Every structure is written in C-alpha cells, then in structure tokens.
Chains A and B, each alone.
Chain A
C-alpha cells in the first residue's frame, strides 16, 4: 500500500495555529495532503486531532497561518459515530441521499438518484438495509452508511474522525480493508485514531499530534519510543511482530507479584 504523499497537492497548511476561546490548541502546523495520501493522525485526547481535521475541512478558521485548498476539490467527511443523533427520524436511504449533490428542487429522489444511492449502498454491502432506521444498524453497518454518504459525493479526499471508535475487531478489519480499497481507487484518505496497534501501525503514513505536529512519516519513522513519548508524554516500548510495529505502554502491572528492590 503506497500513500505517503507524492502526487499533486490537495490541501496545504502553512504555519497554521488554531484556538478555541483564545486557548491555543494547535501551534505552527505545516501539513500537506497529496492526491495519493493515506494518513493517520494520532495523539492523546485533547492533542488537537479533530481540530486539525476541522482546519482541513475549513470549518475552523486558523488563528494564524494559511490554508490552501486545490480549486474545486471534492471533500467528504465522516464524523465520529458518538456525535450522531441516533434518535433522528431518518432511514439509511435518506441519510445517504441528503449528501448527494443535486440541483433538484423536489424533496423526493429521481430514478437516477435512487440508482446512485443503491449503487453506493451495494458497494458497501448494505443495499438491503436501505429502509432501516439508522439506529437499527450495527456499529459496522452505521460506519458503512456514513461512508456511503461520503462516497456518493465522489470525493477526491475523504476525512474520517475516529472511524473505528467503539467497533469490534472484525468490524475494524472490515473498515480498514474498505478504506484501503477506496485508496486503491484513487481517493486520498486522512483519518484520526486512538488505536495505535489496530489501525495506525497498518497505515502508510502517520502524523503525531500534541498541540502541534510532533512527527510525521511512515510507521517505521514515527513509531519510535522517542516520538511516542513526545506525543503522549508517556514512556512506551515498540516491538516488532511479523513485520508490524506494536506499541506497548509501560504502565504498572498491578497483577505482577510485589518485588522489593
């Protein structure tokens, strides 16, 4: 899987800082996204991962610096499942349809629109769930539905906020494979994740964030004890298993027998 970013530039952040209520969250960030990029943003809670996504989405104005975006860039966004109002009265079909770019003024879908919604739902293997209420889906199906809502816009760049938060191991694998397929199809992908071993280590490019960019590069370059300590403020060991880097934190083992030094 390539994806470290050598194609044409889609978005560029130059010396960008961001704040909420005058509290600086990100400082002096330089970050480029290229056409063939597949990047994971990692960092502790409150490090500024979602803020970085918002800067890329341009829903947050930078306090300092500039954000450049390729003209007519098609961007789609998949929010965290935790922020969704699952009681909202909406079916899977309508949820996907709402995102489709259309100049149609009538509320109901045209035959062409229906076909395009079913095409993307079938691609994600949830075509038979189109008339279900969104709360009636499993975690993995919900994530697929929001991916479908993003993909119907035929994005060049897909941004995802914690796409594997709260899902089981199999669903996490499914989502990762799905994203890898999309990347193979030419979609640039940037996601945030807390999951260093389940997700981050499998991605071609990582950005470590903690109030700014602490390090970026391939997992081999950034998943080192030194960079991880600067990112998380905690000591971590890095092991290698079947060619994949695994992070082990050095938290105290409460089950270990008491030893006197």
Chain B
C-alpha cells in the first residue's frame, strides 16, 4: 500500500501528474474537432513539424524555443491548410510533405550540431523530469484559452465541423474559424510536447475522441467524454510510468489504447459503426468538384 502511494510524496511526481492530466484533457478536448473533421493525420504531422522548429530554436535561441516552435507549428498548420485548399494536393499528402520535411530538418540539426536544451529523446517520447514552471504556466494558459475558445465559439465550431459549406452560407466565417482552430491545435501540441512527446501526441488527439464517439451520439457529450477520457489517460499513464520506469508519453498512450479496446468490447458493432467514416468526411467534401 505504501508503495502504491509513494510517488505522491514526491513534488516532481505531483507536478507531473497535474501536467499529464491537463495535457490529456487539452488534447481530448481539441481532438474531437480534429477527428470529426477527418483530420486525424494532422496531429501526427503538426507534432513532427513543431519538432523541426523546436530543434532549430534549441540551436539558435534556446531560451525562446517555445515561441519559435509555436510559430513554426502555426506556420506549418496554415501552410498545410493553404496548400490543401489552393492546389490539387490532398490534405494527407500536404501534411506528409510539409510536416515530415520539417521533422527531417529538425533531426538533421540535432544530428549535426547536438543539443543544448531538453534532450532529443524527451522531445520524442515525453518526460516529466524536464518540466519547468514556465512550461506548466504555458500549458495552463493554452488549456484555459482553448476551453474559452470552444465555449464561446461552440456553435460556429460545430457548424463548420459538420457542414462547412452551409455554415459559410449562413454567415459563419469558416476560414477564420478554421485558422483559429489550427492555431489552437498548434499551441496545444507545443504545450503538451514535453509530457507526451512528438511521436505520441497524435495518438492522444485521436484516441479519447474516438472512444467518446463510440459511447455517444451527441456532440456535446462527445466533447465532455473525450476531455474526461484524455484526463484519465494522462493521470493513469503518468502514475504507471513511475512504476514501469518508462517515458510518460508511452504509458499515457497505452492506457488510451486499453480504454479503446474496453470501449470496443462494451459497445461492439454499435460503437464501431458510430466511429466509422470519421477519417474521410471533410476531405471527401473538399475534393468533390460539383458541376
């Protein structure tokens, strides 16, 4: 029993637990919009893009790496959106080219010049050890801003996610909402990068939202469930990471994968049919040229 509560006596663990819980909630909350827009791959792409900026800033201005990596991520997100809309390149191909090129650039910088800040491995798989007070404040700020954004623009976000064309006709500024969502997503990925890690952030954007979709047919409830599942994954994953002595990002994602299996077993075919087609809607609409 003493062993089970032992980690709670350490300050670094308490801090890590709070950060992991908030990170899970943040990614779970924003993941709903990403998954329902059929943009699951963008989380994967943006986290890799941000890694490029992260690496570059480590070398040139380590103190401001968060700002640099954030701007890099936002620029990548907007570039992906622009390339997708203005050319014949699909969203998946645009994400593949822009983000992986950015990631390769980051790895090249690390390989050539070494590191002078948080380690390469921590950036890839997440770690609670390197978390600073500044990062915690940043994470809290991004989470609060995201929650406010979703609360205040709930209907516009719902409308543009469900039916962007009719939303535009109905007076919703779709392009503005989409750009704001990309900025919030970039900041969320940046803020959680240290805890979850570049390679695993995408999973935490997708898994809680998919589990929530399997459990409900209501958008509002999906948002609440996804946030709760993300929080649970963050807290439990961090706790298990202490005992397993492996990076926190890995255990957080494994808890999510376990919950997904559990949800699948409980909801069966009903859950599967609800989550079917989550990956295709938005792009299908965009790629069809009506005559």
Contacts and interface: CB of A to CB of B under 8 A. Distances in A.
**Do A and B form a real pair?**
yes
Contacts of B176: none
A87 B274 contact: yes
A76 B216 CA distance: 29
Interface in A48-88: 48-51, 54, 57, 59, 75-77, 79, 83-85, 87-88
A87 B159 contact: no
A214 to B, nearest CB: 15
Contact of B290 (A54, A87, A97, A98): A54
Interface residues on B, range: 35 or more
B155 A75 contact: no
B219 A87 contact: no
B170 A76 contact: yes
A153 interface: yes
Interface in B18-77: 36
A79 B291 CA distance: 14
A161 B248 CA distance: 51
Contacts of A101: 170-171
B278 A99 contact: no
A107 B223 CA distance: 12
A202 interface: no
B285 A59 contact: no
A248 interface: no
Contact of A89 (B168, B169, B217): B217
Contact of A91 (B88, B161, B217, B276): B217
Nearest to A77: B169
Contacts of A85: 162, 277, 281
A253 interface: no
Interface string B215-230: 0111111100000000
Nearest to B150: A107
A81 to B, nearest CB: 12
A102 interface: yes
B170 A133 contact: no
Main secondary structure of the interface of A (DSSP, over half): loop
A98 B285 contact: no
A168 interface: no
A149 to B, nearest CB: 8
Contacts of A54: 290
B180 to A, nearest CB: 15
Contacts of B161: 88
15 contacts: A57-B169, A59-B169, A77-B165, A77-B169, A79-B166, A84-B163, A88-B36, A88-B219, A89-B218, A94-B219, A94-B220, A98-B158, A107-B220, A108-B220, A149-B166
Interface of B: 36, 88, 151-152, 154-155, 158-159, 161-163, 165-166, 168-171, 213, 216-222, 273-278, 281, 285, 288-291
Interface of A: 20-21, 25, 45-51, 54, 57, 59, 75-77, 79, 83-85, 87-91, 94-95, 97-99, 101-102, 105-108, 133, 149, 153
Nearest first, the 8 closest Cβ-Cβ pairs linking A and B are A107-B154, A50-B290, A85-B281, A133-B217, A46-B291, A87-B277, A98-B159, A77-B169
